[in-house]
Structure 1
């Protein structure tokens, strides 16, 4: 009987340990994306994309790549002064946000499969260093769209 209690206590301790490990096995970042849009491109072979990634978690993460059915390649750019520079990743700070906007950091869709029309939806997948990918259906909006209005 004593051996049986010891085995049961061990099983309970192991189960509790596994449950706790499951809770903490994530990245610690809690990410969500919002406000995503792609302005109707002027050129037939490239488009830009904008969105906000919010992190309500206590650990920073990084946006490491973006894929889309619209483009052969999606690159991330940071604007420094008046110069766009491609980057390998963009930080999503703990308790903060990564804002991709006109005149700042943004996405560039290269080698378009087709020139999307206003009203169309574009599938985009955001890939992170630690967090699970986020899949979005992003609307194509007017070229002069302003999200602040």
Structure 2
């Protein structure tokens, strides 16, 4: 009889611990974002430029939903897989993880440039996150061939 009385209590305790563990993955926590290594390679000509950066997140999940900049009529989000570029509506920012925009992968496209940015310029870019809100970052314009081996702390908010 005593064994039966303990069983419901043990089940309730185990269930409570399991539910607590499910909530501790950081997904319900507020995101804690830091943007680093932002840059735009100087475009040679035309009305488009690309942008790259790294988002570190030491909090809960978030989503990069849009980007804008006074230098462009429109800024779009793109992924590249197998050499094929595809426009994306948003990008997930994982809890306690990173979202990387790098050459050959995810990147921004600055379209309908209002003027051609030159090496040494700094371009203001606002990243819009669903939870963290707007984060404005200064993107330095680097040489057209610039390709960091890893994102450095060239720009952060």
CA contact (8 A) 1:56 1:95 kept: yes
Q: What displacement does 1:27 show?
A: 6.1
Q: Which runs of 5+ in 1 are unaligned?
A: 1-25
2:89 counterpart of 1:77: no
Instruction: Show the counterpart of 2:89.
Output: 88
In structure 2, relative to structure 1, the CA distance for the partners of 1:27 and 1:129 (3 Å cut) is: farther
Residue 123 of structure 2 is aligned to residue 131 of structure 1:
no
Q: Does 1:51 align with 2:35?
A: no
Residue 27 to residue 135, structure 1, CA distance change in 2 (3 Å): farther
Moved over 6 A (4+): none
Instruction: Give 1:44 shift.
Output: 2.2
Match of 2:32 among 30, 33, 45: 30
SS in 2 for 1:133: strand
The size of the alignment, in residue pairs, is 123
Alignment of 1:97-108 (within 5 A): 97-108=98-109
| 1:64–1:27 distance in 2 versus 1, CA, 3 Å | farther
Which residue number in structure 1 is paired with residue 67 of structure 2? 66
Checking the alignment, whether the CA contact within 8 Å between 1:61 and 1:92 is kept in structure 2 is yes
1:132 deviates by 2.1
If the length of structure 2 is used for normalisation, what is the TM-score? Answer: 0.75
